[in-house]
Structure 1
Amino acid sequence: MDEQYLSSLQQKFSQAKDEFCGYGVATKCLSSPGTDWRVEDTYIQKEGIHDDFGLYDSPDKFYLEKGTNLSGVKRWLYQRVIRHLINMNVSKIRNKKVLEVQNAQP
Structure 2
Amino acid sequence: MQLSSISPAQTATELTATTPLLDYRTPSIQQLIKTRGWRDLSAFDQIGALHDFVRNEIQFGYNTSDQSKASKVLDDGYGQCNTKSVLMMALLRALGLSCRMHGFTIKKALQRGVVPELVYPIVPNNIVHSWVEVWFDGHWVKLEGFILDDGVLSALQKQFPDRNSLCAFGAGTNRLQEPEVTWTGADTYIQQTGINQDFGVFDSPDLFFSKHPQELTGLRGFMFRIALRHWMNFRVKRIRAGHNYALPQDALS
TM-score of the alignment, normalized to the shorter chain, above 0.5: yes
Q: Are the equivalent residues in 1 in contact too, given 2:174–2:193 (CA < 8 A)?
A: yes
Q: Which runs of 5+ in 1 are unaligned?
A: none
Match of 1:77 in 2: 223
| Pairs within 5 Å for 1:51-90 | 51=198, 67-90=213-236
How far does the alpha carbon of each residue in 1:17-54 deviate from its partner, in whole angstroms, 9 at most, with x for none? x2111111111121111222232111211222344666
Q: CA RMSD in A?
A: 2.8
Secondary structure (helix, strand or coil) at the match of 1:92 reads helix
Structure 2 residue 245 is the aligned partner of structure 1 residue 103? no
| Pairs within 5 Å for 1:1-106 | 1-16=148-163, 18-49=164-195, 50-51=197-198, 67-98=213-244, 100-103=245-248, 105-106=251-252
Q: Which runs of 5+ in 2 are unaligned?
A: 1-147
Distance in 1 between residues matched to 2:230 and 2:201, nearest whole Å: 24
Q: Are the equivalent residues in 1 in contact too, given 2:165–2:175 (CA < 8 A)?
A: yes
Corresponding letter in the other structure for 2:238: K
Secondary structure (helix, strand or coil) at the match of 2:172 reads strand
Distance in 2 between residues matched to 1:101 and 1:81, nearest whole Å: 22
Greater RCO between the two (CA within 8 Å, min separation 6)? 1
Distance in 1 between residues matched to 2:184 and 2:166, nearest whole Å: 22
Structure 1 stretch displaced more, 73-82 or 89-98: 73-82
Distance in 2 between residues matched to 1:53 and 1:25, nearest whole Å: 22
The alignment's TM-score, normalised by the length of structure 1, stands at: 0.73
Distance in 2 between residues matched to 1:91 and 1:71, nearest whole Å: 26
Distance in 2 between residues matched to 1:88 and 1:31, nearest whole Å: 25
Distance in 1 between residues matched to 2:201 and 2:246, nearest whole Å: 29
Distance in 2 between residues matched to 1:79 and 1:89, nearest whole Å: 16
The alignment's TM-score, normalised by the length of structure 2, stands at: 0.34
Overall identity of the aligned pairs, in %: 28
Secondary structure (helix, strand or coil) at the match of 1:96 reads coil
Distance in 2 between residues matched to 1:3 and 1:75, nearest whole Å: 29
Task: Give how far 1:93 is off.
Answer: 1.0
Corresponding letter in the other structure for 1:37: W
